């Protein structure tokens, strides 16, 4: 069986042949490839001898492809072009920098997604990957460089942290709900309306009784209530006019600015806690992850 190695003296001979055929001039091919005209001529002659046919008609200051040479040159050019594109794709893929950010679904969808276009503009060479979970992931165990979590830094002694946003909890409703039911202008007025409850399965989250207590009201729920274990769905229910929910300001501020939500009740609970960007103390933060961390903090 005839092999490629037995047919072609070297892959370099094909590169030289492609350049010589494109220019139809050994001297210009040599200039392009950074070699001597004699070396180009020698490589072409070796290729012709290996294939057992003439590929060029040598002329004064020119080298015209023969009919066989033209067909072979078309195939060689196409092959080298495909190889070049594949090599470039691999090279560019190797240059991509991936950074993973662990966060809640609520943070990912309500805080991060609206800012992704800005991140791509500011950090075009970084491929950000967001990993969501119902619990705060162990960044060391999962080999994730960055995370976002709420609470107090002393609760995470194995992480460095930087504050992203203070925890401020208000009450929010949709404009349609307000139009249909009137604007609740106090916590007491809110208590008379339909309330939507967030029941986090793992993370600790402020509840309606805590929020009312911060306003000096002993709130005791009556009747049936709508309880949802995902904050994104809570806000979707509010947008659909199903009632009033608690609004974590760093998550809902854009919806408020856009007029999709309205703050009601005239009261905001400042818990004294905050949401932080965290990263492990066990390993050095990469340059790319450092840039993502700094970009996140710059958004506040």
pLDDT value at residue 84: 85
Same domain (yes/no): 59, 143? no
Give the pLDDT confidence score for residue 176 in this predicted structure: 96
Q: Where are the beta strands (DSSP E) in 141-240?
A: 146-151, 159-173, 195-198, 226-228
Is 256 found in the same domain as 121?
Answer: yes
Instruction: Detail the DSSP E strand segments found in the chain.
Output: 56-59, 62-65, 97-103, 126-132, 146-151, 159-173, 195-198, 226-228, 244-248, 262-280
- Neighbour tally for 277: CB within 10 Å: 22
- Note down the domain range covering 36: 4-94
Cα–Cα dist 268/261, whole Å: 15
Residue 113 and residue 60 in one domain: no
Give CA–CA dist 76/202, Å, rounded. Answer: 61
pTM over 0.75: no
Residues 80 and 124 in one domain: no
Beta bridge partners of 150: 275
Q: Burial of 42 by CB count in 10 Å (0-12 exposed, 13-18 middle, 19+ buried)?
A: middle
Into how many domains does the chain fold? 2
Q: Which of 49, 68, 94 marks a domain boundary? A: 94
Number of CB atoms found within 10 A of residue 104's CB: 26
Task: Identify whether residues 22 and 84 lie together within a single domain.
Answer: yes
Contacts 24+ apart (CB under 8 A), 280-288: 280/139, 280/140, 280/145, 280/158, 280/159, 280/160, 281/158, 281/159, 281/160, 282/140, 282/158, 285/145, 285/146, 286/99, 286/145, 288/97, 288/98, 288/99, 288/126
Q: Can you name the residues that pair with 163 across neighbouring β-strands?
A: 276
User: 63, 94, 125: which is the final residue of a domain?
Assistant: 94
- Number of other CB atoms surrounding residue 10 within 10 Å: 13
**Distances in Å between the alpha carbon of 84 and those of 92, 158, 182, 268?**
12, 47, 67, 60
Q: Tokens 């004294």, residue?
A: 272
CATH number at residue 137: 3.40.190.290
Best CA proximity match to 11, nearest among 64, 68, 84, 117: 84
Please tell me the distance from the alpha carbon of residue 48 to that of residue 24, in angstroms, as a whole number: 16
What six digits make up the tokens of 22?
């494109």
**Are 222 and 136 within one domain?**
yes
Contacts of the segment 151-155: beta carbons below 8 A, 24+ positions apart: 151/204, 151/273, 151/276, 152/273, 153/276
> Are 31 and 165 contained in the same domain?
no
* CATH of residue 26: 1.10.10.10
Kindly give the residue spans of alpha helices, DSSP state H, lying in 52-138. Answer: 67-95, 105-106, 116-122
Which domain-ending residue is among 69, 94, 119? Answer: 94
Same-domain pairing of 106 and 45: no
36 and 117 fall within a common domain: no
Token output for 105: 């679904």
Kindly state the greatest CA–CA separation across the chain.
102
Whether residue 48 is found in the same domain as residue 9: yes
Q: What is the pLDDT along the chain (300 residues), one digit of tens a residue?
A: 455 566 666 788 899 999 999 999 999 999 999 999 999 999 999 899 888 899 999 887 888 999 999 999 999 999 988 888 887 767 655 555 799 999 999 999 999 999 999 999 999 989 999 999 889 999 999 999 999 999 999 999 999 999 999 999 999 999 999 999 999 999 999 999 999 999 988 888 999 999 999 999 999 887 678 999 999 999 999 999 999 999 999 999 999 999 999 999 999 999 999 999 999 999 999 999 999 999 999 998
Cβ neighbourhood burial of 51 (10 Å; 0-12, 13-18, 19+): middle
Q: Which residues of 150-171 are buried (b: 16+ CB within 10 A; e: fewer)?
A: bbebeebeebebeebbebebbb
Residues 197 and 268 in one domain: yes
With H, G, I as helix, E, B as strand and everything else as coil, classify residue 15.
helix
H-helix or E-strand spanning residue 28: helix 26-33
Q: Are residues 162 and 73 in the same domain?
A: no
How far is CA 8 from its chain centroid?
A: 45
């Amino acid at each position: 069986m005839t092999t490629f190695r037995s047919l072609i003296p070297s892959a370099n001979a094909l590169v030289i042949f492609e350049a010589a055929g494109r220019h139809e001039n050994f001297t210009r091919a040599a200039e392009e490839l950074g070699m001597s005209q004699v070396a180009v001529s020698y490589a072409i002659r070796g290729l012709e001898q290996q294939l057992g046919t003439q590929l060029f008609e040598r002329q004064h200051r020119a080298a015209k492809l023969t009919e066989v040479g033209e067909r072979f040159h078309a195939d060689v050019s196409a092959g080298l072009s495909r190889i070049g594109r594949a090599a470039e794709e691999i090279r560019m893929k190797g240059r991509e920098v991936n950074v993973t950010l662990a966060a809640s679904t609520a943070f990912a969808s309500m805080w991060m997604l609206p800012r992704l276009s800005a991140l791509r503009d500011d950090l075009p060479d970084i491929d950000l990957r967001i990993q969501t979970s119902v619990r705060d992931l162990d960044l060391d165990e999962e080999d994730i460089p960055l995370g976002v979590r709420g609470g107090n830094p002393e609760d995470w002694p194995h992480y460095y942290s930087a504050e992203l946003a203070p925890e401020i909890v208000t009450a929010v409703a949709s404009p349609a709900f307000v139009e249909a039911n009137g604007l609740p202008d106090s916590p007491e007025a809110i208590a008379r309306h339909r309330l939507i409850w967030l029941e986090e399965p793992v993370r600790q989250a402020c509840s309606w009784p805590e929020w009312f207590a911060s306003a000096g009201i002993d709130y005791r729920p009556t009747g049936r209530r709508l309880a949802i274990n995902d904050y994104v769905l809570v806000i979707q229910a509010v947008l659909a006019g199903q009632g009033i929910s608690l609004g974590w300001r760093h998550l809902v501020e854009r919806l408020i600015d856009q007029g999709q939500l309205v703050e009601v009740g005239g009261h905001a609970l400042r818990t004294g806690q905050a949401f932080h960007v965290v990263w492990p103390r066990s390993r050095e933060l990469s340059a790319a992850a450092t840039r993502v961390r700094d970009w996140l903090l710059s958004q506040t």
